[in-house]
Amino acid sequence: MASNIGKMIADVRPFIVSDALPEDSRQALLQAAKDLQYDLETPLDTVNRYRCSHATAGQGNGPTLTLTGRLFRYAASIRTVKQVGEDTWTASKLTHNLDAPIIQAHVHEARDENSEYFEALNAMMAFIRYSKSGIDVFPFEEKIPSVFKSDAETSNNPLFVDIGGGREQMCRTFRDRFPNLRGRVIFQDLPHTIAEAEPAPDIEGMPYDFFDPQPIKGANIYFLRYVLHGWPDAKAEAILERVIEAMGPESVILINEKVLQDIGTSTMAAGLDLQMMMLFASQERSEKEWKALLGRVGLEVEYLIRYQEEEGDGVMLVRRAKI
């Protein structure tokens, strides 16, 4: 299927880029391409395209109906709504995409457990956490051989601690990848999130605020996924300092975040950065910015692997900096 689509695109491309293409034909093709894009979009595609598009209407002297009509006219032109008559609009597929609870949670970034969006936010985070992660791609055996010790003493020692781990999804991924590894696998999050989780017998849930002292000392791996990007540098440093205080001689930190290219960042990743700036005064960080942040608290990146390049995802193996 993919090869057939690629062939069709390759066949039509010479006609599209030709200088001889009449302007009316070019406009018709452009509109058809837009329609095809909108038809193919999932709700998450839609919110990614709209995340940095904001229209602001100031107070004017004209009637409200006129302003509303002008705004709806533009919205219809980009298929956010559908015009069905003069001064009459109805919901389009994109309208329904944007109104989906999981997208509304993304827009509002609900943090209040009493918020109407809180359940949808948890569902969204579960979707994100069940998607491909750094745990799926990281070469544990090569880079952290200490976790594969087989002596009996390791059975009650903390092996893997997911800080801000939601409802145990990443701990489950880790256990599924390494079912024979001894040691405690723990996910930590705020009490209301832990209360809603249903961990398996081989996974522990623990209420914890990552600005408080870390109660699990000397774990092999402390794991942070999509935590630090939600905080400005000073707060991110405070979170990391709590982890450093708990680390043992062989402890490492795995940071699974966006790691933007220093040159040539994708549109999606750059848009996510702007979203974090607008919502939380925080940021998605480039490799250079990550190294600077970690260096300020006495850590260094030993290894970085990128995956899902368009989204900018990566996982960093972090240790105490060598003195």
- Separation between Cα atoms, residue 243 and residue 223, nearest integer Å: 10
Contact call for residues 51 and 272 (beta carbons, < 8 A): yes
Q: Which residues are 89's β-sheet partners?
A: 83
Task: Report the Cα 189 to chain-centroid distance in Å.
Answer: 17
Residue pointed to by tokens 């302003």: 67
- Separation between Cα atoms, residue 150 and residue 62, nearest integer Å: 76
The DSSP letter of residue 46 is H
| Alpha helices by DSSP H, the chain | 2-16, 23-40, 43-50, 64-77, 93-99, 101-108, 118-130, 134-137, 140-143, 169-177, 191-196, 233-246, 267-280, 287-296
Contact call for residues 187 and 214 (beta carbons, < 8 A): no
Candidates 129, 123, 131; CA nearest to 105 is 123
Contact call for residues 225 and 258 (beta carbons, < 8 A): no
- Separation between Cα atoms, residue 267 and residue 254, nearest integer Å: 26
**From 54, 106, 108, 229, the catalytic residue:** 229
Contact call for residues 162 and 223 (beta carbons, < 8 A): yes
Q: What are phi and psi of 159, to 5 degrees?
A: -100, -50
106 is catalytic: no
- Separation between Cα atoms, residue 125 and residue 169, nearest integer Å: 10
Question: What positions carry a catalytic annotation?
Answer: 229
